[in-house]
Amino acid sequence: MVIVHSVGELREAIATRKRDGQKTVGFVPTMGFLHEGHIALAENARKQNDLVVMSIFVNPTQFGPGEDFEAYPRDEQRDIQLAREAGVDILFMPTPEEMYPHDGGIRILPGPQAKVLCGASRPTHFDGVLQVILKLFNMVDPDRAYFGLKDAQQLAIIETFVRDFNFRTKIVRVETVRESDGLAKSSRNVNLSPEERKEAPAIRQALSRGAELFQSGQSATDVEQAVANYITEQTSGQIDYVTMLTYPELATDDGKATEMILACAVKFQKTRLIDNILIQKDGKICSE
Ligand code: AMP
C-alpha cells in the first residue's frame, strides 16, 4: 500500500498502476477512524476492482458551526494499519489546505432530498458532502465508489448527483455493519459515555419494532411516534428526528412507493448518532 498526501501524487500513483494493467478502480471515501463498516466497503471494492483507493479526510465543509469537527476522532497510524490489512492499494490522506487551496465561491446545491432528515437540522451538510465527493471523484476518476447504507440519506443524494450529472462512476451500496448488540458501527461511538453506550442499542431496537409495526399495518405517523417513545424511554438521548419516507426519493409516500426508510437521529452529550432501516412495502425488511 502506498500513502499519498497530495493530489499530484495520487494521480501519479493511479496512472502508474493503470499503465501496469490494473484497469478498474474502486474508491472508498471515508473520514477515517476506521472500523468494520469502512472495512466492509474496502472488501467489496477489493473483490470488484483491480485497484482499491481509499481516502481519509475529515472534510471541514460538511460540518456546520458548533458541530463536532474538532471532536471528530482521528488516529492516523491505526487507520494506516487497518487500511493495509483491508487490501487498500493507495491511501489518500490530504490536509484541508491540499483539498481546498482555492475558493472561487462556487457551490453545489443538493435538491429536496437534502432538506429532510439530517438536512433539516444540518442545512449545509450535504452541500459540503457533494463538494468533497465531486472533488474526490475528479481526483480518483473511479469506476466504482462504495458507500454505506448507514448513511442512507447521503447515499441517496450521491446516487441522484451521479445520475443527474452523468458521472461515469457506479455507486455501490453496502449494508450497515453493526456491533453484536445491534448498534451501528460509527467512528462517533467512542464519544459516547459508558452509560450512553449501554443505552444506544435501543435505537436499533426501536427501528426494528417500528418496521414490525409498519408491516402490521400502522401508519407512518404512528410508527414514527412509537419509535420516538421507545428511544425516549430507553435512552438519555434527545431525539433530533424520527421520520419515515420513501427511499431513495426521501419524499412523503403517495401510495406508489415500493421501499421506505425509517430513519432517526439521536443527540447524546458529546455526539449525535444516526441509524435507519429500509422496509419494502410488500412487507420485507430488505436492508438494515
Ligand atoms: P465516514 O467515515 O463516517 O464518513 O463513513 C465513510 C463511509 O463508510 C460512508 O460511505 C459510510 O456510509 C460508511 N459507513 C460508516 N459506518 C458504516 C457502517 N456501520 N456500516 C457500513 N458502512 C458504514
In which band, very low, low, confident or very high, does the pLDDT at 192 lie, cut at 50, 70 and 90?
A: very high
Mean pLDDT, rounded, for 199-204: 98
d(CA 276, CA 247) in angstroms, rounded, equals 11
Instruction: Pick the range with the lowest mean pLDDT from 53-67, 147-161, 224-238, 271-285.
Output: 271-285
Residue 159 dihedral angles phi and psi, to the nearest 5°: -60, -40
pLDDT for residue 145 is more than 90 = yes
Whether 35 is catalytic is no
In which band, very low, low, confident or very high, does the pLDDT at 286 lie, cut at 50, 70 and 90?
A: low
pLDDT at 281: 82
pLDDT at 148: 98
d(CA 238, CA 191) in angstroms, rounded, equals 15
Rg of the chain (C-alpha set): 19
Average pLDDT of the residues of the chain: 97
d(CA 240, CA 237) in angstroms, rounded, equals 9
pLDDT more than 70, % of the chain: 98
- 28 Cα nearest atom in ligand 1: 7
Fold of 2-174: Rossmann fold (3.40.50)
Q: For a pocket test of ligand 1, which of 27, 38, 93 has the largest count of ligand atoms closer than 8 A to its C-beta?
A: 38
Q: Which three cell numbers stand for residue 6?
A: 497530495
In which band, very low, low, confident or very high, does the pLDDT at 284 lie, cut at 50, 70 and 90?
A: low
- Tell me the domain boundaries of the chain: 2-174, 187-276
How many other CB atoms are there within 10 angstroms of residue 159's CB atom? 15
CA of 150 to the centre of ligand 1 (A): 6
263 lines ligand 1 (CB under 6 A): no
Mean pLDDT, rounded, for 211-224: 96
Q: Cis omega before residue 65 (within 30°)? A: no
41 lines ligand 1 (CB under 6 A): yes
Pick the residue whose CA is nearest to atom 12 on ligand 1: 148
Mean pLDDT, rounded, for 149-177: 98
In which band, very low, low, confident or very high, does the pLDDT at 50 lie, cut at 50, 70 and 90?
A: very high
3-class secondary-structure state, position 252: coil
Beta sheet of 238-246, edge-to-edge order: 238-246, 259-267, 272-280, 285-287
Top-confidence residue, 283 or 258: 258
pLDDT for residue 227 is more than 70 = yes
Pick the residue whose CA is nearest to atom 13 on ligand 1: 148
Q: What is the pLDDT of residues 82-111, one digit of tens each?
A: 999 999 999 999 999 999 999 999 999 999
Q: For a pocket test of ligand 1, which of 151, 159, 186 has the largest count of ligand atoms closer than 8 A to its C-beta?
A: 151
CATH 3.40.50.720 fits domain 187-276? no
